[in-house]
Structure 1
Amino acid sequence: MHAATTRPSSRSPRLLTQAPHRLMFFIGASNLLLAMAWWAMWLVDARWQLFGLRQPTPYAGWLHAFVMQYQMLPSFIFGFLLTVFPRWMGLPEIERWRYLPVGLGLIGGQLATLAGAFGFGPGVVVGYWMTLAGWLAGVLTLGPLLLREPGTTWHARACFLGLSLGVLGLLAWGGFLLGEDPRLAFASIKLGTFGLLLPVYFCVAHRMFPFFAGNVVPGYVTWRPLWLLGAVLALCVAHLTLELLHAYALLWLADLPLLVLLLLALWKWWPRGQVPGLLQVVFLGLAWLPLAISLYAFQSIAYSLTGEFLLGRAPAHALFVGFFGSVLVAMVTRVTQGHSGRALVMPAVAWFTFVAIQFVAAMRIFAEVLPDGPAWQAAAGAGWLVAFAPWVARIGRIYLSPRTDGKPG
């Protein structure tokens, strides 16, 4: 009977609507491959002119940043938050009709945006409005929970603050599409990084990572002071403000104290002794965060001395590919295993993806300083696809299948 529930014949797209994480993670996994397939093609074409792609409007690099920050990664973020917000607050689970529009907006928005990147005229604008609609559906679902909860869940409020800054970034992108003011595109990209993604990622890490370790590591001491969360978020906003003001020579004023706090958190949270693989990858992914911030700090100090960005986009890709990418694999694998009735272990496919993404991150970082950087960038884009494709195939099948333990969800 148990085996019958996991046969391929029992898979159905209808199962995607049974829980927020099923729908949103399936969409996120699809968006992940679609977004990088286009970007890898673009990088290959920019270097070797193999496909004859034309420069899209907006500029391809800005479009890449928008897709990754406001469509691909938020698909996973909303899937996680729509699942955990009610649990954190002791409220009923979110109804299906509330999260379906979120998923439809994000998958439809990205498909239309990528069609625009390939030359379909209205695609980028249509994709923007669909994405904004999906975002508003998510924010207007999560926001009222903060008013209904019996207590005060600071992690939920901090995550919601990040989502609110994400909405502001989306509005800035819309203003750019309407008026073609590049300053709004710049603001949108920076808000996506240090207003939305980094605060939400760190907030989830602050709440969940010590909890994960405390459950499986004997003698582990959980350390989650709220002052740390508040200080890190404040320094993220300080970095964001300096970037918006183009005060690159002063970014180190925010980045150095942020680096100190992140190293402290990594030291206090790091589990000692025998650690299961599924927990190990969480903290290995987290280790990319202080490394990325140290690169930002070095870049700022070097700029103040030389007037040049010596590392180019290396700090951003240490953050995006190294930290966001690694923790994405670790967290989505954990949620997928647990919420599908499977054992909390790190599958071989997930190990392949996690290890491969470390090499991809290093390749993309060093592409900024190696000869023929565009070739290395294209190789990193292709490497991302190779790394993630088997993992996406595995979790996609899981979301289309019933739980192995027969439970709902």
Structure 2
Amino acid sequence: MTAPRARRRVIQIRAADTGAAVPGTARWRAAHLLDAPHRLLFFAAALLWSAIAVWWAAVMAASPLGWTLPWAVAPAPAHALLMTLGFMPLFIAGFLFTAGPTWLRLAAPSVPSARTLRWPALSIVIGWGVLLPGLHLDARLAVAGLVAVALGWSALSGRFAGLVRISRADDRLHAKGLAIATVVIVLALWLAALALALEHVTLLRVATCLALWGGLASVFALAGHRLTPFFHPSIARRFETGLLGPVLAGLWLRGAADLAALWSWPWPMPLHVLLAVVHGLLGGMLLVTAFDASLARARRAPMVRLLHAGFVWLGVSFVLESLSQAVLAAGRPTGLGLAPLHALSLGFMATTLLAMASRVAAGQHGRTIAIDRTVLLMHVLLQGVTVLRLLVALWPSAPSGLLLSASFGFAALALAWTRRHAAWFGRPRADALS
């Protein structure tokens, strides 16, 4: 008799284990966008992000190239409107309808499917697609587009508020706060549409200010408090909600100051001093918290490192706001310009968005490695863009190439993220391909 042949052991390696897709195993199909809410809403958000970023890079390149662009809406408020309300809200919606039901202890059929969200999402995408050319050609076109966006967001906000209302979860603090923030975004959109219809630039600035401070920034603070350890340092253990209350109060104070400055300026020196002290104390506390020794182990995880960078930028933005108020108190009329704002928007919000959106996209697509080399390179690019934008704000005589480089870097980041993740959203889960 011959000896039995040894059985060959075959070990299969799944795509999910390496973080890479299996090439050529499935065609991209639009129908897969309806497999889950995050697929549909992240895909729509990514398209808008790319379109808006490329548009602004083209606007920045127009002057050096000698192009004269027509404008039906002033460029500065148009930029603020699109960068505030253009793409971030849809990313937020994708997160709300993915993580929100888990927080609220809800399951099907109570949770809206992607199919039921497709019309609001389509209304939002079409609306911004109409508004973009309207900014240059006819303000009435921009108004029509923004009305479509507001209608779509009203529907999404109403759906999420409905989930919060029917939930019986014990802890609904964050969900309730997020629901209120989405209502603020809806109000800001309708106010912006009215401002465009009336050709009222100040009212448009009010709308974007309301959306930024009362809507988007509040959402990121609430999400950060729920999902990261940095809002719960050892120095704040005596407070049940950690640093959430002080951070929200600081953000709303900055928003209130921005609104007040639209009608009343300049301010008396003591008021600037008071704001400098308040924001300086909060910024210092956030930076101390960011490097709390008790959180050293948590900061080693790749995902947490990215979120940590965003939290550091939050502290930096408050410190810069404090310095800006001090400079204003000293008699310099412009303070530090837009540096504190971009430290918040690009540094804190965009960094946090990049980390969280990449994590949700990878995890929901069956990939166990969410923060890989590609995401880290995108993160580094975003940090470079943020630093460039701050240099431009802090250096009034900076070469025009710095701002142009920042706009092109932001566009490259948007296109890279969209190219990678849009391919995932239209295909089955990676672990289903193995």
- Shared fold per TM-score greater than 0.5: yes
Aligned pairs for 1:365-380 within 5 A: 365-368=390-393, 369=395, 371-380=397-406
Task: Write the distance in 2 (CA, Å) between the matches of 1:223 and 1:402.
Answer: 46
Do the aligned partners of residues 342 and 129 (structure 1) sit closer, same or farther apart at CA in structure 2, a change above 3 Å counting? Answer: same
Tell me, yes or no, if the aligned pair for 2:310 and 2:348 is still in contact at 8 Å. Answer: yes
Quote the offset at 1:265 in angstroms: 4.5
Change (3 A) 1:274 1:383: closer
Q: How does 1:89-100 map to 2 (within 5 A)?
A: 89-92=104-107, 93-100=111-118
Within the alignment, does 1:42 sit opposite 2:72 as a pair?
no
Aligned to 2:191: 172
Match of 2:432 among 402, 406, 409: 406
Superposed displacement of residue 380, structure 1 = 0.7
Q: Superposition pairs for residues 197-276 of structure 1, below 5 Å?
A: 197-210=216-229, 225-226=240-241, 228-246=243-261, 249=272, 251-252=275-276, 254-263=278-287, 265-268=289-292, 270-272=295-297, 275-276=300-301
- What is the rounded CA distance, in whole Å, between the counterparts of 1:87 and 1:372 in structure 2? 48
Residue number among 326, 329, 335 corresponding to 1:304 in the alignment? 329
The aligned counterpart of 1:133 is: 151
Instruction: Give deviations 1:43-75, integer Å, cap 9, x for gaps.
Output: 1113x1444322x22211211111121121111
Q: Secondary structure at the match of 1:312?
A: coil
Please state if 1:314 is matched with 2:333. no
The 10-residue stretch of structure 1 (80-89 or 108-117) with the greater mean CA deviation from structure 2: 108-117
Question: Within 2, Cα distance between the matches of 1:229 and 1:22?
Answer: 30
* Structure 2 gap segments, 5+ residues each: 1-11, 16-20
Which whole-Å CA distance do the structure 1 matches of 2:216 and 2:286 have between them?
A: 16
CA-based RMSD of the aligned residues comes to 2.8
> Aligned letter for 1:176?
A
Partner Cα separation in structure 2 for residue 211 and residue 99 of structure 1 = 33
Q: Residue 187 of structure 1: which of 196, 202, 206 is its match? A: 206
Matches within 5 A, 1:133-152: 133-150=151-168, 151-152=170-171
* Aligned-residue offset at 1:228: 2.7
Q: 1:398 Cα shift?
A: 0.9
Secondary structure of the residue aligned to 2:58 is: helix
Q: Distance in 2 between the 1:105 and 1:293 partners?
A: 36
Q: Which of 66, 69, 89 is matched with 1:53 structurally? A: 69
Task: Give the SS at the match of 2:123.
Answer: helix
Provide the C-alpha distance between the structure 1 equivalents of 2:32 and 2:183, rounded to a whole number of angstroms: 30
Name the counterpart of 1:28. 45
2:90 aligned with 1:75: yes
Check 1:117–1:180 CA distance in 2 against 1; reply closer, same or farther (3 A cut).
closer
**Cα pair distance change 1:261/1:202, threshold 3 Å:** farther
Question: How far apart in 2 are the matches of 1:180 and 1:389?
Answer: 32
**CA distance in structure 1 between the aligned counterparts of 2:276 and 2:186, rounded to whole angstroms:** 27
**Aligned match of 1:353 in 369, 378, 389?**
378
Partner residue, 1:117: 135
Moved more, 4-13 or 358-367: 4-13
Answer 1 or 2: higher relative contact order, Cα 8 Å, separation at least 6: 2
Larger Rg: 2
Rounded Cα–Cα distance in structure 1 between residues aligned with 2:79 and 2:312: 25
**Partner Cα distance (2:415, 2:69) in 1:** 24
Provide the rounded CA distance (Å) in 2 between the counterparts of 1:210 and 1:222. 12
Relative to structure 2, which stretch is displaced further, 299-308 or 358-367?
299-308
Residue 172 (structure 2) aligns with: 153
Maintained 8 Å contact 1:71/1:110: yes
Decide which structure has greater helix share.
Answer: 1
* Partner residue in 2 for 1:218: none
2:209–2:258 Cα contact (<8 Å) kept? yes
- Secondary structure of 2:208's aligned partner: helix
Do residues 284 (structure 1) and 309 (structure 2) align? yes
Match of 2:182 among 157, 163, 167: 163
Contact 1:88-1:153 at 8 Å conserved across structures: yes
Residue 191 of structure 2 aligns to a residue in which SS?
helix
Q: Alpha-carbon deviation of 1:389? A: 2.4
Matched length: 399
CA displacement at 1:37 relative to structure 2: 0.7
Decide which moves more: 183-192 or 5-14.
5-14
| Alpha-carbon spacing, 1:8–1:60, altered in 2? closer, same or farther (3 Å) | farther
- Structure 1 residue 137, shift from structure 2 partner: 0.9
Give the AA of the match of 2:226. R
Structure 1, residues 69-125: CA drift from partner, whole Å, max 9, x if none?
112111101110111221101112323343213321221122111122342564311
- Give the equivalent residue in structure 1 for 2:359: 334
Q: Deviations over 1:184-211 (max 9, x none)?
A: 1121121122111111001101001139
Offset at residue 378 of structure 1 (A): 1.5
Q: Percent identity?
A: 25
Deviation string 1:19-62 (CA, Å, 9 cap, x unpaired) is: 1111111111111111011111111113x1444322x2221121
Q: State the Cα distance separating 1:357 from its structure 2 match.
A: 1.0
The residue type paired with residue 232 of structure 1 is: V
**Where does the alignment leave 5 or more consecutive residues of structure 1 unmatched?**
214-220
- TM-score if structure 1 supplies the norm length? 0.89
Write the distance in 2 (CA, Å) between the matches of 1:121 and 1:172.
Answer: 15
